[in-house]
Amino acid sequence: MDCLVIRFDPIPAAETVPSTIPEPSFPAASTAAAPSAAAPGTDAPTARLRAAQSPAVARLDSIQALRGLAAAFVVLYHSGLTLGGANAPVLNWLTHNVIKRGHVGVDVFFVISGFIIAWVAVLARPRPERPLSFMVRRICRLAPPYWTMSAIHALLLNPVTPAVFAASLAFLPTSTDHAPYYGYPALYVGWSLNYELAFYAAFALGLLLAGRRALLVVLAIFALFTLALPWWRFGTLVADPAQGYAFAAPWLAMASNPLVLEFLLGCGLAWAYARWRHLLTPALALALLAVGGAAFALSLPLVGPDFSLAGRGLPAALLVAGAVAAEHTGMLRVPRALIWLGELSYALYLTHPTVIEAVKRLMPELGAGQTAMQLLRFAIDAGLALALAWLLHRWVELPGIAAGRRLARG
C-alpha cells in the first residue's frame, strides 16, 4: 500500500480562483524542470507525460476550460436562440436537442465544484483547510458578485419583494414547489448558488468534525439528507431532481434533492485522482476522454429535457474525469482563450440574465425562421454579457477573492 501514499505541496498563496488547482509534486520529478521537447530516444507521449508530472504544472487548465464552456452553454440556453422551422429540420433538431439542453452546464458546474473543493481544501494540502478560513474564502468569492448582480437585476428589470430579496442575499430557497429550483431568487440563476452554499456548509462541517477525513463526513451528510430522511419521512426514494421530496421547509427540500449528489460525484473524482492518477497512461487517458465526451454528447438528445442524476450528472462526471486525465498525461493542451473564458465563467453566469432580458425588451420578438436575426441577437447577448462579466470579475470578484484571503489569514 505504500505506493499509494502521495506527498502534497502546500497551496500557493497566489491562488486567485477556486479552479486554479496546485499540482502535487512527484518524487521522481521533484528536482527536474519540465522538458520542453522529447529527449533523444523518448517518444512524444512519454515526454508529454513527464511534463505533465512536473511541479511546473501548477493548475488544471481543463477544469477552467470546462467551467467556461459550461457557462457559455448556459448562456446559449437562456438566450432563447431558436433556429430553423418547418423547412429547416436540421436546425430545428439542433435547437430542440442541443440548444434547449444548455442547462446541463449546471450539472458540469456542480461536478467541478465538488472536485475543486475536495482538492483544494483537503487532498492537495499537507493539512486540511481550517473550517472558518474555508467558509470565509468561499463566501467572499461567491457573495459580492452575486449580491451586486442581484441588486442590479432587481432594480432595473425584475422587482421582487423585500422578503425574496433578503432570501436571495442569504442563499436560501423560498418555496417547496418547482423542484429542483424551489423558488427563483431576484437573479434567477441564483437557485444553483443556493445549492453551492449548502455544499460549502456541509464541507465546512466535515472539516470541523473530521479534518482530513472531511469527505467521509460529507458522504454521511449527503446520505442522511438524500436517503435516510426521505425514507424515514416518506417511505420511498426518488432519483428524479424534478420530483424531489415534499418537505415542509424549503431548505430541507433542497438539501434532500438528488441533484446535490452531483457534488459528491465531483468529490469522488478528486479522491480517485489523488489516489490513482499515477496509474494513468496516455492511452488510458485518451480512452477516458473519448468515453466522457461521447457520453456527454449523447446525453443531450437522448435524455429528457429535465435534470437527471444518471442522465446528466454521470455524463458530466465522465467528461470531467476524461479531461483531467488527458491533461494530466499531457495529451490535452487547453487553448488560452478557453482558460480566459473559464476565469470569467462565474461572472458570465451572473451577468448574462440581465443582459439577455434587457436586449429582449429592446428588440422585437423574433420567429424561428429569422435565422440571421436570431444569430445577430445572440451575438449581441454574448458580447455584452462577456463585457459586463469582465467588469464584474475585475472590479468585484477579484477584490472579493483578495479580501477573503486576507480575512482567512487573519
Nearest to 187 by CA among 345, 77, 352: 352
Nearest to 366 by CA among 84, 78, 74, 92: 84
Weakest-pLDDT range from 26-30, 120-124, 158-162, 204-208: 26-30
Q: Dump pLDDT digits (tens) for 20-38.
A: 333 333 233 333 333 333 4
pLDDT score of 223: 98
Report the 10 Å Cβ neighbour count for 317. Answer: 26
* Cα separations in angstroms, 162 against 56, 165, 167: 50, 5, 9
Nearest to 147 by CA among 182, 163, 171: 171
DSSP state of 185: -
Dihedral angle sign, alpha carbons of residues 120, 126, 128, 132 = negative
Dihedral angle sign, alpha carbons of residues 339, 345, 351, 352 = positive
Asked if 135 and 143 count as a contact pair (C-beta separation under 8 A), the reply is no
Could you check whether the bond before residue 180 is cis, i.e. omega within 30 degrees of 0? Answer: yes
Per-residue pLDDT, averaged over 279-295, amounts to 98
Per-residue pLDDT, averaged over 281-305, amounts to 96
Q: Residue ranges per domain, the chain?
A: 57-409
Asked if 86 and 365 count as a contact pair (C-beta separation under 8 A), the reply is no
Amino acid identity at 305 = P
Per-residue pLDDT, averaged over 163-190, amounts to 97
Per-residue pLDDT, averaged over 163-188, amounts to 97
DSSP state of 19: T
Higher-scoring residue by pLDDT: 32, 227: 227
When the pLDDT of each residue in the chain is averaged and rounded to a whole number, the result is 88
Asked if 64 and 19 count as a contact pair (C-beta separation under 8 A), the reply is yes
Weakest-pLDDT range from 76-90, 103-117, 253-267, 288-302: 76-90
pLDDT score of 33: 35
Asked if 63 and 324 count as a contact pair (C-beta separation under 8 A), the reply is yes
d(CA 238, CA 243) in angstroms, rounded, equals 7
Higher-scoring residue by pLDDT: 290, 92: 290
Phi, psi of 362 (to 5 degrees): -90, -20
Q: Is the pLDDT of residue 97 over 60?
A: yes
Which residues have CB under 8 Å from 304's CB, separation 6+? 311
Give the percent of the chain with pLDDT over 70.
86
d(CA 35, CA 189) in angstroms, rounded, equals 44
Q: Dump pLDDT digits (tens) for 98-140.
A: 999 999 999 999 999 999 999 999 999 999 999 999 999 999 9
Residue in this structure with the C-alpha cell 528536482, named with its chain if needed: 31
CA 343 and chain centroid, separation = 12
Which residues have CB under 8 Å from 305's CB, separation 6+? 100, 101
Residue in this structure with the C-alpha cell 446528466, named with its chain if needed: 312
Q: Dump pLDDT digits (tens) for 304-330.
A: 888 999 999 999 999 999 999 999 999
pLDDT score of 8: 38
